Amino acid sequence: MSASRSFRRRLRAHAEETSRRSTSRGDTQPHLIDVVDGMELWIGADGVGRVLPPIPDDAVPALKDALVARRQATLSGTCPACGARAVVHGSKKLRDLKPGEIARGTMAHTDWCVASDAGIADLVERLGGAS
């Protein structure tokens, strides 16, 4: 079994279990539930799991702020810096996904958004990654 297949299997298992627990508790905030193969598994208030890279503790403050904005955008579906909204790809809407089902999405940040790929790359180029 490939590492990616193993990761997806573990992700589905975590997402299904946590979705049941989150829904029964009425959670309203996203929360970190596990770290799998160096990636963080978050479950949103909507019960949907999201896999995100960790934010380095030693990142320069401006980069850390941009990465936090990026995380908030991913977890909420709306970027706090530019207002961009997430788009789920494929034939299903996010609300139509079944527990454990995997979907891919994108967010079209504005050109000036610090949470965009270009904004984060610019910060790394100008300031470096670590403080």
Consecutive 10-residue runs of the chain (131 residues): their mean pLDDT? 62 64 64 88 80 92 96 92 90 70 87 95 88 73
Q: Which residues contact 10 (CB under 8 A, 6 or more apart)?
A: 36
Looking at the fold, whether 107 and 119 belong to one and the same domain comes out as yes
Q: What is the sign, positive or negative, of the torsion defined by CA atoms of 49, 53, 73, 22? A: positive
Looking at the fold, whether 39 and 10 belong to one and the same domain comes out as yes
> What pLDDT is recorded for position 37?
86
> What pLDDT is recorded for position 31?
87
- b or e along 11-27 (b: 16 or more beta carbons within 10 Å of the residue's beta carbon)? beebbbebbeebeeeeb
Looking at the fold, whether 38 and 85 belong to one and the same domain comes out as no
- Residue ranges making up the domain that contains 88: 55-131
> What pLDDT is recorded for position 40?
92
> What pLDDT is recorded for position 21?
59
Looking at the fold, whether 6 and 67 belong to one and the same domain comes out as no
Looking at the fold, whether 8 and 34 belong to one and the same domain comes out as yes
> What pLDDT is recorded for position 1?
41
Residue 82: both structure tokens together:
């530019």
> What pLDDT is recorded for position 90?
75
Which strand (E) or helix (H) includes residue 73?
Answer: helix 61-76
> What pLDDT is recorded for position 97?
73
Looking at the fold, whether 26 and 62 belong to one and the same domain comes out as no
Q: Give the end-to-end CA distance of the chain in Å, rounded to a whole number.
A: 39
Number of domains composing the chain: 2
Looking at the fold, whether 86 and 24 belong to one and the same domain comes out as no
Looking at the fold, whether 11 and 70 belong to one and the same domain comes out as no
Asked if 80 and 72 touch (Cβ cutoff 8 Å), the reply is yes
> What pLDDT is recorded for position 98?
73
